[in-house]
Amino acid sequence: MIANPVPWPNGARCAVAFTFDMDADSILHLAHHTSADTRLAAMSMLRYGPEIAVPRLVELYKRFDMHQTFFLPAWCMERYPAAVEAILQGGHEIAHHGYLHEHPNELPSEEELYWLQRGIDVFVTMTGERPRGFRAPTYKFSRHTLTHLVNEGFVYDASLMGDDVPYLLENATGRVVELPSHYALDDWPHFMASRDFNYFMSIKPPRQAMEVYAAEFDAMWEYGGLWVAVWHPFLSGRLARCVAIAELIAYMHTKGQVWFARLDEVAAYVQQLTQAGTWTPRVDRLPYYPGPIPELGEAEPTLAR
Ligand SMILES: [Zn+2]
């Protein structure tokens, strides 16, 4: 079912990464710049992430002796240093998720680079090192993102959805490892309900979402894939959902032969296999198209309406 399965370490059947994007209130300021300060209920829902959920998740991981990856907009690192401290103290990785959750593919290349570098500066100041990984906010990876990541020394990206196993992104500037996920493993479609974001998923029992995640895991376990959850502390870190996550982790442990890893560890392992010639990842050359396809002409086509 997977054409090129990865020989995961120590005979593991699959690799598992619970990644959390700690967006906190950055997304509210971005969506409602002039009125975010008046939206206190939404603010409290989002602040629950760094203040309540992150310490809870760090504690949960400690119980299972797991080290995982958190993606943080650098502005959130500045606003919530205690969360940063808790994540680092737990032995987890912090990776780059924009400065203020800006959308790279809606920005000119130089502005995208400005925010990326401004974020890196915060990482260096607060963690003592540059980030190794990047996830584009809202998956909005741009035509220029790969070039900026290569030039800034990133090892991996975790924004795209092009495979069940790691692969490489390549252009004339260089390469990074892509660690893909997809919407079924994101928690917004399962849990997000907010008037301020005009986004309403029907409320359902946490275990219903866990059934989807577990089905994805079972398939990855069977065929040798990489399972990457794209979750948010303010959504999946709520109490009942967190209890369900603990049950999911316990299920994975019971099944066994699972490599629980930080994404920087997965990326380093892929590089190691590639260099040794033990396994050769697929390569995606970016961008996929130099511009809009010519078949429809330059105007907005009536065909699309
Ligand atoms: Zn995000």
Task: Give the separation between CA 268 and CA 287, rounded to whole angstroms.
Answer: 24
Rounded to the nearest 10°, the torsion over CA 265, 63, 237, 71 is -20
CA of 228 from ligand 1 middle (Å) equals 15
CA of 254 from ligand 1 middle (Å) equals 31
CA of 71 from ligand 1 middle (Å) equals 8
Task: Give the separation between CA 64 and CA 230, rounded to whole angstroms.
Answer: 19
Instruction: Grade residue 24 by pLDDT with cuts at 50, 70 and 90.
Output: very high
- Would you state the structure tokens that stand for residue 258, as one six-digit string? 């699972």
Q: Please choose, from the candidates 278, 276, 255, 282, the residue with its C-alpha nearest in 3D space to the C-alpha of residue 7.
A: 278
142-194 confidence digits (pLDDT tens): 999 999 999 999 999 999 999 999 999 999 999 999 999 999 999 999 999 99
Report pLDDT for 216.
98
CA of 96 from ligand 1 middle (Å) equals 10
Instruction: Grade residue 296 by pLDDT with cuts at 50, 70 and 90.
Output: confident
Q: Which amino acid, one-letter code, is at 154? A: F
CA of 49 from ligand 1 middle (Å) equals 12
Which runs of E-coded beta strand occur in 171-289? 175-178, 193-194, 199-200, 226-231, 258-260, 283-285
61-115 confidence digits (pLDDT tens): 999 999 999 999 999 999 999 999 999 999 999 999 999 999 999 999 999 999 9
- Would you state the structure tokens that stand for residue 78, as one six-digit string? 């500045």
Report pLDDT for 201.
86
pTM of the model: 0.96
The separation between the first and the last C-alpha atoms of the chain, rounded to the nearest angstrom, is 37
CA of 231 from ligand 1 middle (Å) equals 9
CA of 302 from ligand 1 middle (Å) equals 34
Looking at residue 154, the DSSP 8-state letter turns out to be -
Q: Please choose, from the candidates 4, 2, 276, the residue with its C-alpha nearest in 3D space to the C-alpha of residue 268.
A: 276
Task: Give the separation between CA 26 and CA 42, rounded to whole angstroms.
Answer: 11
Report pLDDT for 34.
97
